[in-house]
Amino acid sequence: MLEGVLLAFDDEADPARRLATAGGWPCRLVQRHRFPDGEFKLRLPLPLPDRVIVFRGLHQPNEKLVEILLVARAARELGAKHLTLVCPYLGYMRQDIAFQPGEVVSQRVVGRFLADLFDAMVTVDPHLHRVATLAEAVPVKAPVVISAAPTLADWVAQERPGALLLGPDEEAAQWVAQAAARHGSDSAVCRKVRHGDKQVQIELPPVAWQGRAVVILDDVASTGHTVALAAQLLLQAGAASVDVAVTHALFAGDAIEVLRRAGVGQVWSTDCIPHPTSVIPMAPLLAKALEGAWSRA
Which residues are identified as catalytic?
A: 192
Name the residue ranges covered by the structural domains of the chain: 5-147+282-296, 149-280
* Pairing label, strands 278-280, 267-270: parallel
User: Domain 149-280 classified CATH 3.40.50.2020?
Assistant: yes
Instruction: Tell me how far apart the alpha carbons of residues 29 and 258 are, in angstroms, rounded to a whole number.
Output: 35
* Helix and strand counts by DSSP (H, E) for the chain: 9, 16
pLDDT at 199 over 60: yes
Average pLDDT, the chain: 93
% residues pLDDT > 70 (the chain): 97
Query: In CATH terms, are 5-147+282-296 and 149-280 the same topology?
Result: yes
CATH of domain 5-147+282-296: 3.40.50.2020
Q: What is the pLDDT of residues 76-134, one digit of tens each?
A: 999 999 999 999 999 999 888 888 999 999 999 999 999 999 999 999 999 888 888 99
Q: Do residues 64 and 58 touch, judged by C-beta distance below 8 A?
A: yes
Instruction: Tell me how far apart the alpha carbons of residues 106 and 137 are, in angstroms, rounded to a whole number.
Output: 10
pLDDT at 194: 65
Instruction: Tell me how far apart the alpha carbons of residues 10 and 22 are, in angstroms, rounded to a whole number.
Output: 19
pLDDT at 1: 44
